[in-house]
Amino acid sequence: MEALNQKSLERVVSQRALQMGSSFPCQICVVGFLCGVCLTSLFLAALTSFGSFQFGGISFSSISMGTPPGNSSSEIINDVTSTDCKFKLKETERRVDSCRNEREAEDERVSLLYSAWGALLTESVIEEREFSKRFGLERSSVPNAPHFEDCKLSARVNTRLDARSENGDFPPWTSWKGLLDTYPASAANEQIKHFRHRAISEGAYPPWITGSDEENYPLTRKVQRDLWVHQHPSNCSDPNVRFLVADWERLPGFGIGAQIAGMCGLLAIAITEKRVLVTSYFNRADHDGCKGSSRSSWSCYFFPETSQECRDRAFQLMGSKEAWEKGMIITKDNYSSKAIWAGRTPRQVITCLTNLVWGEPWSYLQPTTEINGSLIAYHRKMDRRWWRAQAVRYLMRFHSDYMCGLMNDARHAAFGKEAAKMVLASLPREWPKVEVTSNSRSDIEEFVWSSHKPWIPRPLLSMHVRMGDKACEMKVVEFKEYVHLAGRVRKQFPHLNSIWLSTEMQKVVDKTKQYPHWNFYYTNVTRQVGNITMAKYEASLGRKTSTNYPLVNFLMATEADFFIGALGSTWCFLIDGMRNTGGKVMAGYLSVNKDRFW
């Protein structure tokens, strides 16, 4: 009996039951199946209370050992319904009722926890009294939400990791992650201090790079460190520090991917010319979600590309005729679009600290991209692919408080209910009537576990499906081709069943219903219907939504375990770059097409 494979039994039985759901006793059984938990007890009760129960020669073990679903289970159902259900109707009804009550109570608890978390997320300043009035429980007895990031804490930790120390050294980058570095007991130990100092002076651990060197593009750590050093001179007022000030592209035809790719080109120019890149007006952040100085600025979403001192200095120099004449300041207009879009990839940077040479790391990029059934070991413009990956990773190295909040919202909407179920499974059944004191924190929570990423259902495959007006840029691929590729991944990794779907097309979302064996997640946003242009569609969403939701999808794709997209689109090209500098090289990349320049 213990060997009973409950899952498979439930599945075969419920399939069958739904087909036969019209006869009365079976309806009862169907209700029973819906309370999956109670199914076994129903059967067990039937078995134990009926010594002479007939089973038509079919044993449970034969079901769990792979009898094709359909046939034998129907006989069981027939047996159960004909012999057992009829006699035991009353008892079954009672059981079903209690099943249903339990299920309802469970659903209520899930909803309660889900909305309590939601309130804490959107109204972080909600009053204790208001909170307990609304939810009937204290804030302190709401367990931690595993899918939330503590944005205030992250911003504090990352701000510290993004600024030089007072004597101009690297920030405290060591192989100690997150808050560990602030653990009080280690601050006093001389030997630890010595090693810490040595690690920092090498700057070998830019903290935004995860994964080993093998799991990232060649030289990622070194290049990220060098980019940071280049963009953060120790004294921005030094007359030798020169600047390139650039607005983000803002022609209406430019998608957000093209804007970022353009900035990657400008960063390359800045590095080559030994100028500090300062980004200026960012039209997509020109909305009221971006408050204060982050309005119309990249820093609304990500940490700024350079220090505040350098930004201030550059904008001050913009007003100085002398600075222009001396070439201390230069803008995007000084470069042709060819130089920006197809410029030379920086091969080396010389900083005040050391003379660093990168060589040509792109010539040994790991061949982990598959297109049309074969791995691509070599292609044209490998240097650009490598460089864009480095540049976009640098520009997006730390999320702003605002971006962090958007990710929390997105995770809560998509995975919040699942998270609530998970958490409730470890709470007493009486919650919230009994207090839980799960929120007490000791050092290991504070310093070690605090650095973990928020929970998402893993493994997760991210899929970016773009059709519509992309047809002019690349060959458009049908959704079923994407799902086919997802099936390939699942064959190798059968525990994969979740897809984060990122698409502008309502048609694509509708098609997900044809694939019930996949669990699709997507953001709740109005989608493109028919063939209106992307620019028109974005305008209809408004600037805030049309920026926030692609960025959320972008970062989710970066975090996902697997990715399927179209290398022919700039957007997917950038996602690929983020993944290849985010420890995900070995996840491989299945592309439905190749880059249009290869």
Binding residues for ligand NAG, rule: CB under 6 A, are: 68, 70-71, 235, 237-238, 327, 330, 333-334, 372-373, 524, 530-531
Question: What are the residues facing 464 on neighbouring strands?
Answer: 502
> In whole angstroms, how large is the CA radius of gyration of the chain?
29
CB 405, CB 103: distance < 8 Å: no
The smaller minimum CB distance to ligand NAG, of residues 49 and 334, is found at 334
**How far is residue 486's CA from residue 459's CA, in Å, rounded to a whole number?**
12
Residue 218 CB, nearest approach to ligand NAG (Å): 28
The smaller minimum CB distance to ligand NAG, of residues 20 and 427, is found at 20
The smaller minimum CB distance to ligand NAG, of residues 45 and 509, is found at 509
What φ, ψ does residue 255 adopt, rounded to 5°?
-75, 170
Burial degree of 1 (CB within 10 A; 0-12, 13-18, 19+): exposed
How many C-beta atoms lie closer than 10 Å to residue 239's C-beta?
A: 9
Q: What's the DSSP call for residue 232?
A: S
The smaller minimum CB distance to ligand NAG, of residues 355 and 372, is found at 372
Residue 581 CB, nearest approach to ligand NAG (Å): 28
Q: What's the DSSP call for residue 472?
A: G
User: Which residues have CB under 8 Å from 95's CB, separation 6+?
Assistant: 32, 38, 41, 42, 45
The smaller minimum CB distance to ligand NAG, of residues 70 and 252, is found at 70
**How far is residue 571's CA from residue 261's CA, in Å, rounded to a whole number?**
9
Residue 75 CB, nearest approach to ligand NAG (Å): 9
Distance of CA 323 to the CA centre of its chain: 43
Residue 429 CB, nearest approach to ligand NAG (Å): 28
Residue 412 CB, nearest approach to ligand NAG (Å): 11
Cis omega (within 30 of 0) for bond into 304: no
Burial 309-336 (b: 16+ CB within 10 A, else e): bbbebbeebeeeeebeeeebbbbbeebe
The smaller minimum CB distance to ligand NAG, of residues 353 and 434, is found at 353
The smaller minimum CB distance to ligand NAG, of residues 164 and 222, is found at 164
CA atoms within 13 Å, Cβ hemisphere of 519: 13
CB 10, CB 76: distance < 8 Å: no
Residue 237 CB, nearest approach to ligand NAG (Å): 4
Residue 494 CB, nearest approach to ligand NAG (Å): 24
CB 344, CB 268: distance < 8 Å: yes
The smaller minimum CB distance to ligand NAG, of residues 41 and 71, is found at 71
Residue 288 CB, nearest approach to ligand NAG (Å): 17
How many C-beta atoms lie closer than 10 Å to residue 562's C-beta?
A: 25
The smaller minimum CB distance to ligand NAG, of residues 1 and 471, is found at 471
In the chain, count of helices (H) and strands (E)?
A: 24, 12
Residue 241 CB, nearest approach to ligand NAG (Å): 9
Residue 240 CB, nearest approach to ligand NAG (Å): 9
What φ, ψ does residue 332 adopt, rounded to 5°?
-60, -35
The smaller minimum CB distance to ligand NAG, of residues 71 and 212, is found at 71
**Lookup result for tokens 């938990």:** 37
The smaller minimum CB distance to ligand NAG, of residues 214 and 510, is found at 510
How many C-beta atoms lie closer than 10 Å to residue 85's C-beta?
A: 23
CA atoms within 13 Å, Cβ hemisphere of 283: 15
Residue 386 CB, nearest approach to ligand NAG (Å): 24
